[in-house]
Structure 1
Amino acid sequence: MPPSPPSRPDAPAEAHRARRGADAAIPNPDSAGRDQSTPHRRRLPLRTIALGTIGSLLLLAGSFGGAGVLVHDPILGSGPLSAMRYGHGRDLALAVLYTGFGVLVWAWVRLGRGVLAQLVDARGVLAATAAWILPMLITPPLFTRDVYSYLGQGLLALHGIDPYSVGPSTLTGPIPDNVHPTWQTTPAPYGPLFMGIAKGVILIAGDGMISSVIVMRLVLLCGLVMLIFALPGLVRELGGRLPVALWLVAASPMTVVHLVGGPHNDMLMIGLLALGTLLMLRGKHAGGIALVTLAMTIKATAGVALPFLVWIWAARLPGGRWERLLRAGAASVAIFVPVFAATMALAKVGFGWLPALSAPGMIVNYLSAPTGVGQAVHSLVSLFVEVDRGPFVDVGRALGSLALAGVLIWQWWQAQDGGTTAVRRAAIALLAAALLSPVVLPWYLTWGLALGCALRWTPRALSYVVGSSVALVLAYYPDGEQAMYNWPFVAVGIGAAVLAGLSLVRFDPLGLNRLRRGAADPAEFDGIGPAPRGSTKS
């Protein structure tokens, strides 16, 4: 008789082991960034990559009718395909789009299982990321219309009009026509470097809406490239695992659908932030401060990290604590001021973006914890007396701002040892800035993850990120309108989020396999599944 075939790495067994140790940290990488316990030969997760690619292609197909389509679409404006934009045709497009999102999440969770079981390495995650992002490069804006606002603000700057004093409706044409009504008269809340970038995109692509969106998406994609470039070094410094970090911030539906499919300028901000932080950890302090300053000139949020990076510099200087802090702070300011001034001069804008930072405050939804508390108290009081919602929201936001200030100060003070401690505290501060701000939008979750992904994670903590990511994407409709007050839809979204989170750490969380076969029999993970009959499992 021929000998029994040798046993192969058992993905379900690894998944069960990860589930049993759901609160145990993922093993540390070795000095080369590889897991010491990883099998020597690992295949690309081809089935999972293909599954996610199908999801992305379905998102692409459905986006032409269900996403942030143009007011006057040159492709779908007339002819038989125009049916995708109205009535049952649009309903079908939305069904295809949501199916694609579900398939993409399914693939992401499968990929995460392989990463946790150490069956998928960084190369596999990067291959999946590239395959899933590629269809997103030509979609209409997904789950947002912000890119039209970017283009409208760039058009203002190109015409010599201050985008920090007026909104896109000052001009006429296809670009202002497609800006969401909320932002038609709103000044730009973004930094001077991004205004210069938006102006450059209009110069390159002209006023063609489709070409302008694609060019903007490609420019912002540079941020993801920078983030991926920085992650191996950040992981080595912060003690995480590169496949986990890439899976969290590169292959995530939050990145694929929102940051790329949107697209959002947060992608460029977090890329500069991650690269600047890596330079700081490697002792290249001036370059690190300069890059994070550039991140702030994209979006002001990056400025939250700057005081933490000063501690990294101060910890490497001689002298007492306050002397070191003063010297590092003075040097940082000496770099910050000319870099910021240079971006303003090149973009030909002034300081008007600072008061414009309050512009998003007109958005009121309960994704922001302080705003949500204000809304909840108003709803409770309204049961007894009719009152205006505004004061409740304002008080909630004021208290939230005080709480945020307290968190930031406390985290900064705890970061005085510098090094990895300061980076970890900066990641917490960025997460707090996302959750406690007066306005929270789904992609704000990526701010803290840009640095936090390089830390050590437990599978259980990763499952919370999975659930949060799914719930946040589904908080908005594909056309960019908020879905948070459609309660049946919210219930379905929360259910999908819980299921996705549980699926990362539990095989078959609904027990369907048990009902069908009478016992759990996990399916193969890309061909690396249960050992053949008659073999001995290791």
Structure 2
Amino acid sequence: MAPIVSVESAPGRSGRTQDTTADPFSFGGRLPGRPLPLRTIALGSIGSVLLLAGSVGAAGTLIHDPVLGDGPMSVLRYGHGRDVAVTVVYAGFALLVWAWVRLGRGVIARLVSSGGVLWATAAWLAPILVAPPLFSRDVYSYLGQGLLALNGLDPYGVGPAMLTGPIPENVHPTWQTTPAPYGPLFMGVAKGVILLAGHDVIASVIVMRLVLLGGLVLLICALPGLVEHLGGRLPVALWLVAASPMTVVHLVGGPHNDMLMIGLLATGTLAMLRGRNVLGIGLVSAAMAVKATAGLALPFLVWIWAARLEGPRPRRFVHAVAPALGVFAVVFGACMALAKVGFGWLSALSAPGMIVNYLSAPTAVGQAVHTVLSLFGELNIWPIVGTTRTLGSMLLLALLAWNWWQARDGGTEAVRRAAIVLCCGALLSPVVLPWYLTWGLALGSAFAWTPRALSYVVGASIALVLAYYPDGEQAMYNWPFVAVGIGAAVLGGTSLLRFDPLGLSGPIRDFTRDLREEHLLRR
């Protein structure tokens, strides 16, 4: 079976390496030898439409649904009708993944431009914009927390259960009494969405999705500059973070506020690389005011600032960190004042800790230890998990400190180390949810990737989406389903590197040659 050619160099029809840097977006998608991958775009679009159709009955639907109600369509919410809806969702996801892998093969072979990836992204996202929340109910929590703030209650002190109405009643039971773990800027965003959409839950979900989509736009706009500085390829970066099922299904389909956070983070990082230090620190501070995780990158950006100053390193660091702290204080203070919230978000950061799943490495170790020790007698899991989570936090701090010191020369190495720490932060957090994978990819996608590494991302993306059911409940302890998910992840990752890895179509030709033949016929 023939592997797909390397990301680093792929010959065109003339035998010479093709370069994509001259046309950052190429919205027409028609660079020489690179027509739009119309079949692949259509395949993914069919998948997205199926996701939309199935989500009406299988996703995070409303308790009192004005669309389904008690009419004939209500059959999609119960019994065999719901089974059909769930099947349609998974069929749509399978087609979307298939299209993404096909698109990735073309990107790796330098046969698909950045414009082609963007057209695919737009086509695949369009149906999702009006879908019910997919694979998560978090958006109802966002709206409930915004409604609390709008009614003069402290979202960092109480949960949506303090209110009544269509928005609070749709918040997942886990989060009904849980304070908001998000920053003041996002509380302001949530309040603004409620003001725009009122108490219409469907309209509020769509408006929230569109507002958070601004984060993806920021990320896409920042990627050409990040790729230029960090040495990657724009089509690969866009394929990783814009067209990915993780983005389509989780960040947009969810939707999740991580999308806004990573957009601000990427834009701020690019500003730092371009020497616009105040703007860069300000944007990343704003990202932290959406979700505290972005704060992991701030110490690394200070090194970028310090590297441009003169004098001994300690003096340069002091001269950089002092104004950086000042910018952070101004931005964060302004977000708190505009959202009319206080410092309660700091204590609320521990709120998600009630979730226990093995996606978090420290939690998984605690669960494993508890399982072994339980063979000798009944034990409470919380002291064990609490201990391993504490050890995990200590390890994360050690990794942060070590990588921070390794980044002391600033420049692109500081960004690389920040991306590593963001990945470590996702894996070592007490709680890990599937879309946390996007934190490190927001910056890491702009570096050079080997096909093998990309295949791992494909496998992880598939497995992490399938870690939850379409209605937002976790699927991680349905072991037959987990086995199917792992099999799909392995197949997806392998398919990026090898055409027809199962050998179902007889003798296999090099996929890049197949693509070129098809394109030549169409031309």
8 Å CA contact 2:5–2:108 kept in 1: the answer is no
- Secondary structure of 1:528's match? helix
- Secondary structure of 1:312's match? helix
What's the counterpart of residue 109 of structure 2? Answer: 117
* 1:100-139 mapped onto 2 (5 Å cutoff): 100-139=92-131
Is 1:448 matched with 2:440?
yes
What's the counterpart of residue 401 of structure 2? Answer: 409
8 Å CA contact 2:4–2:105 kept in 1: the answer is no
What's the counterpart of residue 337 of structure 1? Answer: 329
In 2, the alpha carbon distance for the partners of 1:65 and 1:529 equals 42
Q: Which amino acid aligns with 2:117?
A: V
What's the counterpart of residue 320 of structure 1? Answer: 312
8 Å CA contact 2:129–2:209 kept in 1: the answer is yes
Q: Which amino acid aligns with 2:241?
A: V
In 2, the alpha carbon distance for the partners of 1:77 and 1:187 equals 31
TM-score with structure 2 setting the length: 0.94
* 1:385-424 mapped onto 2 (5 Å cutoff): 385-424=377-416
- Secondary structure of 1:420's match? helix
Is 1:434 matched with 2:426?
yes
What's the counterpart of residue 491 of structure 1? Answer: 483
In 2, the alpha carbon distance for the partners of 1:28 and 1:402 equals 46
Q: Which amino acid aligns with 1:160?
A: G
Is 1:95 matched with 2:87?
yes
8 Å CA contact 1:249–1:255 kept in 2: the answer is yes
Residues 523 and 16 of structure 1, relative CA distance in 2, 3 Å threshold:
closer
State the 1:394 CA deviation: 0.8
Post-superposition Cα deviations, 1:94-120, rounded to whole Å, max 9, x if no partner, equal 000000000000000000000000000
In 1, the alpha carbon distance for the partners of 2:226 and 2:109 equals 22
* Number of positions where the alignment pairs a residue of Structure 1 with one of Structure 2: 511
Is 1:146 matched with 2:134?
no
Is 1:42 matched with 2:30?
no
Is 1:17 matched with 2:9?
no
- Secondary structure of 1:513's match? coil
Residues 177 and 383 of structure 1, relative CA distance in 2, 3 Å threshold:
same
In 2, the alpha carbon distance for the partners of 1:258 and 1:282 equals 31
RMSD: 2.1
What's the counterpart of residue 5 of structure 1? Answer: none
- Could you tell me which of 202, 216, 219 is aligned with 2:208? 216
Q: Which amino acid aligns with 2:22?
A: A
What's the counterpart of residue 252 of structure 2? Answer: 260
Residues 433 and 123 of structure 1, relative CA distance in 2, 3 Å threshold:
same
Is 1:474 matched with 2:466?
yes
8 Å CA contact 2:106–2:512 kept in 1: the answer is no
- Could you tell me which of 274, 279, 285 is aligned with 1:287? 279
8 Å CA contact 2:4–2:512 kept in 1: the answer is no
What's the counterpart of residue 6 of structure 1? Answer: none
Residues 334 and 134 of structure 1, relative CA distance in 2, 3 Å threshold:
same
- Could you tell me which of 21, 45, 57 is aligned with 1:53? 45
State the 1:391 CA deviation: 1.4
State the 1:383 CA deviation: 1.6
What's the counterpart of residue 250 of structure 1? Answer: 242
In 1, the alpha carbon distance for the partners of 2:112 and 2:18 equals 15
Residues 339 and 34 of structure 1, relative CA distance in 2, 3 Å threshold:
closer
State the 1:529 CA deviation: 3.3
Is 1:504 matched with 2:504?
no
Is 1:520 matched with 2:480?
no
8 Å CA contact 2:8–2:450 kept in 1: the answer is no
8 Å CA contact 2:198–2:204 kept in 1: the answer is yes
Is 1:234 matched with 2:226?
yes
Identity of aligned residues (%): 71
What's the counterpart of residue 517 of structure 2? Answer: 529
8 Å CA contact 2:7–2:450 kept in 1: the answer is no
Residues 372 and 50 of structure 1, relative CA distance in 2, 3 Å threshold:
same
In 1, the alpha carbon distance for the partners of 2:348 and 2:510 equals 53
Post-superposition Cα deviations, 1:211-270, rounded to whole Å, max 9, x if no partner, equal 000000000000000000000000000000000000000000000000000000000000
8 Å CA contact 2:157–2:179 kept in 1: the answer is yes
Post-superposition Cα deviations, 1:293-346, rounded to whole Å, max 9, x if no partner, equal 000000000000000000000000000001001110001011110111011001
What's the counterpart of residue 3 of structure 1? Answer: none
Task: Identify unmatched segments of 5+ residues in structure 1.
Answer: 1-11, 534-538
8 Å CA contact 2:258–2:291 kept in 1: the answer is yes
Residues 235 and 159 of structure 1, relative CA distance in 2, 3 Å threshold:
same
Moved >2 Å (runs of 4+): 15-22, 27-35, 38-41, 521-533
What's the counterpart of residue 14 of structure 2? Answer: none
Q: Which amino acid aligns with 1:90?
A: R
State the 1:520 CA deviation: 1.8
Q: Which amino acid aligns with 1:175?
A: I
- Secondary structure of 2:309's match? coil
- Secondary structure of 2:127's match? helix
What's the counterpart of residue 169 of structure 1? Answer: 161
Q: Which amino acid aligns with 2:59?
A: A
Post-superposition Cα deviations, 1:473-498, rounded to whole Å, max 9, x if no partner, equal 00001111000000000000000000
